[in-house]
Each structure stands twice: as structure tokens, then as C-alpha cells.
Structure 1
Amino acid sequence: MVRARAIGLVAFGAATLGGAALGYLGERRVMAGQAQRVAEADPSLAAAPGWASRDVESHDRTLLHAELRAAPGRPAVLFSHGLGLSSRVWHDQMTVLGERFHSVAFDHRGHGQSARAARGDYTLDALADDVAAVLAETAPAGPAVLVGHSLGGMAVLACAARHPGLLGERVRGLVLTNTAASRLFSGAARSTLAAAVSTVQARVYEAVVARSSRARRRLESDDPEDRPSTDLSLLATRQFGLNPEAPPELVAFLERELRGTPPVVLGACAPALTTVDLQDVARELTVPTLVLAGSRDRLTPPRQAQRLAEMLPDSELVTIEGAGHTAMLEQPDAVTAAIDRFAARVTADAGGGDGTSARRASSR
């Protein structure tokens, strides 16, 4: 019986690997054409929107880059992006909501146009303090809503815990999209592996390739061209970062964003995805929270969003149909409208608007 079980396991494993290989070969043919389109990624997403820019000095003197659509006297909406991305992923939301709110999107330390951590600190506490620093510098007065995606959502939650004095009169509500309060990627085993790979990359750098100038450049560079696009990287981006039917130009844009973040930064931030537990913070949150889930999110599936919403004292759960892990890119109209309604409601006494859904004004 033991022998039969062993043979069965081997056969199952072989079939699984064979199926995966055939599947990949099929995907490779499709993705090969996409690899040629990276440079043709949708310019309305890839290009900086050209609004006001500002550098903000965080608690440890790390310089953070922020983009603003200034609207003095109006409630603020501050956007915090996820691991490996940048403020550019909020282009559609900034475009539309910037007409009704004082809108700010910033790059986390080591991401986008922000500097590397001045003291090498990439902990969630540091990211949370960055959120507070950007809010204080770019929207120093009046009510605000904090919006966070994936790791950026955890940073927003951590900010609420580390700076409780902000909640209430200043921060009227939180929007958490494609995120969780603990073990961010526990909903998918393969995503946990991805986080582990990022950590291993950093360890390999420290232990093996530190003497190789070429390897060092690839690991540390902010230029995505130092880490060329491959069929596999595009395939992984589409399968885990987006829904499987995402258009090629969106896959190309997101994959380029991820390649633009140095692996050493990804590795330094990765532990926050799998080890930090903010469930107690969520249970004690004193402001309304909107939880957005992607119906096709493989990294933080809808059941995780449901658990998060259930532990929050005052929450609203909205599932974005057809969206994967980056709902704000895949279904921008639905995400923008949901944020608009929520922000207008929680800031209504400060002139946040009438809560009607915003119409998309993006050039995309």
C-alpha cells in the first residue's frame, strides 16, 4: 500500500508538473508578443501626470516624493501604494478625485522617485511614519481620508495605530483595497513563495554576489532596464498582480513598475507582508473604513477582505467585480466611484461633496 501510495504521489506530481509545463509553453507564446510591448505601455499610466511635485522629509530624514492636485480648503485624500509600485498606479483616481478633493499620492521609501531609506529602515513602522509625514506636509490642516493598497493598506493601518491622535477630527476614514490586517499573502501559497523569494534575493546579494559589480547593479538599480523583461516576468505579473484577462498594455505597465523597484528594497519590505499582525489595530479602529476587494484577486482573495471587514468596528465592504490584485488599475471607474462616495460621506461636514459618483476624466 505504501508503494502504491508513493507511485500515486509520483504520478500526480509528474502530471502536475507536466500540465504546468504545457500551460507555460502555451502562455509563453502569448506573452512573447507582450514582451515586445513593454515600451508601448499606456502613456496615460506610465507618464507622470504633471501635477505639482513635492519632496517630503520623513521622520528619519528619508526624502519622499509626492504628487499633488492641490485644492486648498477641501478635504484631503492621501494615496499609499503597494509593494514594488509607485504613486503612478493612482493616476485615474488622482485625475478624477483631484477635481473634488485635495489629492496626494506619494512614493514609499525606495520606490518610484523617493529616496532609499536613510538608515536602511523598511519596516512597516517606518512606512506608517512616512504616511503621517506626507499627510502633515502636504495636507497640514482639515479632514482627510487615507487610501492604501496592499502593503500600502497595511501602512495606513499601522499609521492609525502609531498616530492615534490623527484619527477623528483629522483622519475621518480609511480605504483599504486588496489588503489584509495580517499575513497579507496568506490567501495564496504561491504569493507567500513570492515574498520569500524577494527575501532570498536580498540574502543572496549579501552572501554571494556582493563582489559582482554587474549583479550589484541589477539588484540595486532603480532603472527597470537593468532587469530586462522576460516572458516569465510578464506571465507572473498577469497571473498574480492582475486578473488573467488583463490587457497587454496594463500587464506591461505593471511589470515595468515592479522591475523599477530594486530587489534589495523588495526583500527588505517583504517581511512586513508575512509577519506583521495588525488585527488588534483593526478591531480597535475608531473611524469608518471602506474595504475594497477584487473578485479575482489571487493574492488577497475576497475571503480575506471579508475577514478584515468583519473585524473592523465600522466598515463597508465593496467587491470590485472582475478585478485582480490591483483593482484601481483594472477597474478604475468602480474604485474611484467607491472612494468618492465614501470620502464625501465621511467628510460631508467639511464640504467633501454630495457623495455622487465621480465620472472618469482620465486621458486613458
Structure 2
Amino acid sequence: MKGEGEPLVASRELTAVSADGSRLHVEVYGPEGAPALVLAHGWTCSTLFWSAQIRELAGRGAYRVVAYDQRGHGRSPAVGPDGYSTDALADDLEAVLAAALAPGERAVLAGHSMGGMTIMAAAGRPGFRAHAAAVLLCSTGSARLVAESLVLPMRAGRLRTRFTRAVLGARAPLGPVTPLSKKILKYATMGPGAAPERVAECARIVHACPRAARVAWSHVLGELDLGAVIRELTVPTAVLAGSADRLTPPVHAREIEAALPHSLGLTELTGVGHMTPVEAPEAVTAKLRELVNKYVAGPAAGAGATVVADVAEVTAGEAKEQAV
């Protein structure tokens, strides 16, 4: 297993092509044939955001981890002004699943922040249902993100919402990582006890996000409303949130968990902020391992396959009756 300071080296790299022709950079870690996870990062991040999980899960050779850069992030090219939407997020995830997994292969899907919104947006898609065995939603929300944000220390209301929208959608470049920028980032996105090295790691990732993509996605998130599609997320789903999250406070996680058809429960991490995979890597990794072992590698995986086969058999029977 590689140490924390060593660079990650993917077993292979892929390019997934989305419905509108957008190209997505995909990295696969770990041995072929191993139980699979697919990781979707959040706004202003990249595949690097999942480094701790990739090292621990794929580095030991027990699991295969697929991570990809959302459009406009990392090594996935920017798109035109009409290419940023929740439908595009869902299209992209379907494209990644088709490119990285074998037909019918099922995996655990995990999304942080905008990555969780990606999973919710795709929940009703055929490509998602063909590959999702279970889901982990980390530090995410489905609606009212700006109104519920606690980034600005103001009383809730129209004025705070207006100022928060302006701050999150600011067009000014983030510039180089400095002691001041790290302090601001920590306040807005991480818990008060976040280790300095983890604050620095998040700052490097966030500051590397292209300004155009950061601004474009901020507008999408500002108008987000996925509340109606949560009930389409019918696979077993666990929810994880930080109690000190200012960007997507735990109220979002509680609402999502209450609406899920097959909830595995909500885990609230005391004192942790929004950047859970970096701030609390052990907790996130443990939850991922638990889900993969149960729903991809364990007995539940076989049960899921039986259900899929039963559905296919019923569908085929119905088609035969109609033909007669």
C-alpha cells in the first residue's frame, strides 16, 4: 500500500463520452474483477479529493475504485454555457458507469456534495439502475442550498440568502494558496478542529478549479431542486454528514434520509465540516468498505442479482403475453 505522501498511480485511465459529446477523465485503481466502487467528487474538487479512500481501498488490492473528474473540473474539459445542469451531471455519471464497468456489473456509488447531487439526479436513469448496488451520500443536499447555508454569520432570511448567493457565485479568481486563503477556506468548508495538512490539501484542490466552471456550477447549485427525485433512489443508501458543515448543514442530510425508500441511516460526524472525505477519511472509508462488502462482495450482492433476474423474467413474460 502506498504511503500518504506518495502519488497515486491509476491502473488505467479512460475517457467517457457523455450524451452531449463532453469528454470526462476517468481513473481506475485496483485489480480488474475486484468489487467496485465509483466515486463522484463535489463542486470545485477533482479525483484528488478521494485520495485517502483510493489509497486505502484500492492500494491493498481488495477493491477496484473508479474516480472521475466532473465536467469542467480536473482533467475533464470545460463545456459551453449551456452544458452545466443537473441533467448533464446525470448524463455524465451514466457515461462513466458504461465506460468503466462491465455490462450488468454492480458497484457502490458514492458522491460528495455535488457528487451526491449527481447521484440523486441520475437515480431514475436506466444506466444508474443497471449498475448501482448501494449508495453513500456525503455532505450533500437536494434543494435550498443557498437559503440554508451558514457560510455567512447572519440571521436566516432574504438578505443572508442574497449575500450568500453573491459570495458563492463570485467571479473573482481564488488566486494562490496563502495563509489567509486557507483560513477562509477552513472557516467556510471545514470543521474547527480540521488538521492544518488537511486544510492545505483542500485548498490546493479547490484553488486549482477553473474559475469558469466554478462560477457556472454555482448558478446550477443555487437553483437546485432535486427533492422530487430522491424517492427514485431505491437502492440501499447511507447518508453521512458533518455536524459543523456550513455549506450543506445537517438539515439537508436529515431531509434526504427521511425521504429515501431504502435508507441505511444517517451518520453525523461531530465537529466535522463539509469536506468529510478529507476531514474524516477513516469514517468515510469504513462506510464505503462496509457497503461494498455487503452489497457487492457479500450475500446481499447475490440477492440483488436475483431480484434483477426476477424482474427481467417478469418483463420477458409480460412481453410474451402481449405478443400472443
Give the TM-score category using the shorter length: 0.7 to 0.9
1:119-166 alpha-carbon deviations (Å, 9 max, x no partner) = 7511121122111111110113311121100011101111113x1453
Residue 304 (structure 1) shift: 2.0
For residues 148-167 of structure 1, the aligned pairs below 5 Å read 148-161=111-124, 163-164=125-126, 166-167=128-129
- Root-mean-square deviation (CA), in Å? 2.4
Residue 194 (structure 1) shift: 4.8
Residue 281 (structure 1) shift: 0.9
Residue among 287, 305, 313 paired with 2:261: 313
Q: Which residue of 2 aligns with 1:19?
A: none
One-letter amino acid of the counterpart of residue 110, structure 2: V
Residue among 312, 321, 325 paired with 2:274: 325
Residue among 70, 75, 82 paired with 1:113: 75
2: CA distance between counterparts of 1:80 and 1:88?
11
Residue among 250, 268, 276 paired with 1:302: 250
User: 1:287 and 2:235 equivalent?
Assistant: yes
Residue among 60, 71, 86 paired with 1:124: 86
Q: Which residue of 2 aligns with 1:215?
A: none
Q: Which residue of 2 aligns with 1:54?
A: 14
2: CA distance between counterparts of 1:243 and 1:198?
19
Residue among 183, 187, 193 paired with 2:148: 187
Identical positions, percent: 37
One-letter amino acid of the counterpart of residue 310, structure 1: A
For residues 91-240 of structure 1, the aligned pairs below 5 Å read 91-98=51-58, 99-117=61-79, 120-141=82-103, 142-161=105-124, 163-164=125-126, 166-167=128-129, 169-190=130-151, 193-201=163-171, 227-240=175-188
1: CA distance between counterparts of 2:228 and 2:208?
34
Residue 285 (structure 1) shift: 2.2
Q: Which residue of 1 aligns with 2:33?
A: 73
Q: Which residue of 2 aligns with 1:268?
A: 216
1: CA distance between counterparts of 2:222 and 2:81?
22
One-letter amino acid of the counterpart of residue 134, structure 1: V
Residue 118 (structure 1) shift: 5.7
1: CA distance between counterparts of 2:55 and 2:146?
30
Is the contact between residue 140 and residue 253 of structure 2 (CA under 8 Å) also seen in structure 1? Answer: yes
2: CA distance between counterparts of 1:350 and 1:288?
10
Residue 240 (structure 1) shift: 1.7
Q: Which residue of 1 aligns with 2:310?
A: none
Residue 185 (structure 1) shift: 4.4
Q: Give me the TM-score of the superposition, normalised by structure 1.
A: 0.72
2: CA distance between counterparts of 1:74 and 1:293?
28
1:185-219 alpha-carbon deviations (Å, 9 max, x no partner) = 443243664553343528xxxxxxxxxxxxxxxx5
How many residues are matched? 285
Residue 294 (structure 1) shift: 1.0
Q: 1:164 to 1:351 in 2, by over 3 A?
A: closer
| Larger Rg, first or second structure (1 or 2) | 1
Q: 1:121 to 1:76 in 2, by over 3 A?
A: same
* Matched position secondary structure for 2:171: helix
1: CA distance between counterparts of 2:39 and 2:76?
15
Q: Which residue of 2 aligns with 1:26?
A: none
Is the contact between residue 71 and residue 103 of structure 1 (CA under 8 Å) also seen in structure 2? Answer: no
Is the contact between residue 83 and residue 150 of structure 1 (CA under 8 Å) also seen in structure 2? Answer: yes
One-letter amino acid of the counterpart of residue 98, structure 2: A
Q: Which residue of 2 aligns with 1:211?
A: none
One-letter amino acid of the counterpart of residue 132, structure 2: V
2: CA distance between counterparts of 1:232 and 1:151?
26
One-letter amino acid of the counterpart of residue 107, structure 2: A
* Matched position secondary structure for 1:173: strand
Q: 1:165 to 1:137 in 2, by over 3 A?
A: closer
Is the contact between residue 55 and residue 65 of structure 1 (CA under 8 Å) also seen in structure 2? Answer: yes
